[in-house]
Chain A
Amino acid sequence: MTLFNHYSALFFSGFGYTILASLIALVASLILGTFFALLQLSKKRFLAMLGNAYVQFLRNVPLLIITLFFYLAVAKVIKMTGFVSGTVALSLYTSAFIAESVRAGILAIDHGQMEGALANGLSYGQAMSRVVLPQAFKVALPSLGNQLINLVKNSSILAFVGGLDLMYQGNLVAASSFDTFTSYLVVGLFYLVLTLPLSYVMQYLEEHLQESR
């Protein structure tokens, strides 16, 4: 408790950066993931291959490698801080998994929904965004929940590139207090403060949306 009181400013600052990185990556990975899911399902073979290559590449390389790639290589060309390169890497990495969840969701929706909408006069884009995707997200919700929780925990990758996040501050506290165990215990509790409510929100959404079906 005294350790926490002593270093609370650091912990809270790290907590803030972790929340910020998670929120940015959450929004970005949902948008990118949906985009690449649609690309994978495109009838145009080239686009489908492009989408597939993106997903296979990003989900089969360790997050740490992607992060270091942005921090060490890309940052030489486009100036960015560790926080930015970590958040970008996290967004891209997570988007590959989200693309797979969304793709599975779309495939689970009866093809008649798309045909009905097209025959009704809607364009492919309108049919997708108004009819198919809302239903696909509902189906994909449990798996999306998993990805989002992983995303929050994976944000600890920022610590490797000086990303100022919770894990980064935890490392600093551990190094200066010499009480490694308590330092990381506090860090772990902070992550739980984020991920547990997220789990419950996803559970609530699942149950709630089931009723409105």
Chain B
Amino acid sequence: MSMIEFKDVEKYYGDFHALKDINLTIDAGETVVLIGPSGSGKSTLIRTVNGLEEIQEGQLLVDGFDLHDPKTDMNKIRKNVGMVFQHFNLYNNKTVLENIMLAPRLVLKRDEEENKQLAMALLERVGLADKANNRPSALSGGQKQRVAIARSLAMKPKCLLFDEPTSALDPEMIGDVLRVMKEIAEDSDMTMLVVTHEMGFAKAVADRVIFMADGQILEDSSTEQFFQEPSNERAKKFLSQVANH
């Protein structure tokens, strides 16, 4: 069953054509990595999936909901589709624990005791149980991102979107975040769509790799095929540039 389905999707920012003729199907349970040079439209694409960006033409189905239909209740989609941002976007006015408990309490009406137990279990899982009562401002970037992942997981989503989750982190922090993401990909049947520059992570975790440039999808291949022999010339060039680091 498909979780996300783009059909002839076009997206504009004023005159700028940000997404061009996007056709893409992601099945439930798949882990898909989206790569490409900056400005290629990767972030724009992932942000259309939970309606943070509107599309102008085409059809976009997420979890059976039609996002281009103005009657669609965006909150119903977002309940099942979590997102982890480059800059974390933790609630600065709440403690770490409250960051995780807020949405399940307000949106899912989860029982308070159960909510707290689950939140603590998630913090345990990302290795930050001792930070439960801290404010986000007291955490390092890597810790913030792990809290943000726990916050998304607390909603028990069907699908998780990662928008460059490690791009704002110091190098020594990246490993911890990737490890948590790897665990999620392996242990759960959640659909994951990840925009990243971490090729090692893509190789190890992704079922499929999508390469974008200039608002278009240029390559959509299995992970092995993509890293061994990409069919698209721009993808080939991009890979060699990244590998030469």
Contact = CB atoms under 8 A, between A and B. Distances in A.
Size class of A's contact patch?
Answer: 20 to 34
Contact of A213 (B74, B88, B135): B135
A121 B75 contact: yes
A121 B78 contact: yes
Interface stretch (A78-86, A130-138, A141-149): A130-138
B48 to A, nearest CB: 12
B135 A120 contact: no
5 contacts: A115-B85, A118-B52, A120-B151, A121-B79, A121-B155
A126 interface: yes
B100 to A, nearest CB: 10
B3 interface: no
A116 B155 contact: no
Interface string A88-126: 000000000000000000000010110111111111001
B223 interface: no
Contacts of B106: 122, 126, 130
B83 interface: yes
Contact of B85 (A112, A121, A135): A112
Contacts of B169: none
A113 B92 contact: yes
Interface string B88-123: 111111100000001100111000000000000000
Contacts of A117: 91, 103
Contact of B155 (A112, A120, A134): A120
Q: Which 7 A-B pairs have the closest CB atoms?
A: A116-B89, A119-B83, A112-B89, A121-B107, A120-B103, A121-B79, A134-B93
Given A121-B155, A130-B106, A213-B135, A116 B78 contact: no
A120 B93 contact: no
Given A119-B83, A130-B91, 8 more contacts: A112-B89, A113-B91, A116-B89, A116-B90, A120-B78, A121-B107, A131-B94, A212-B135
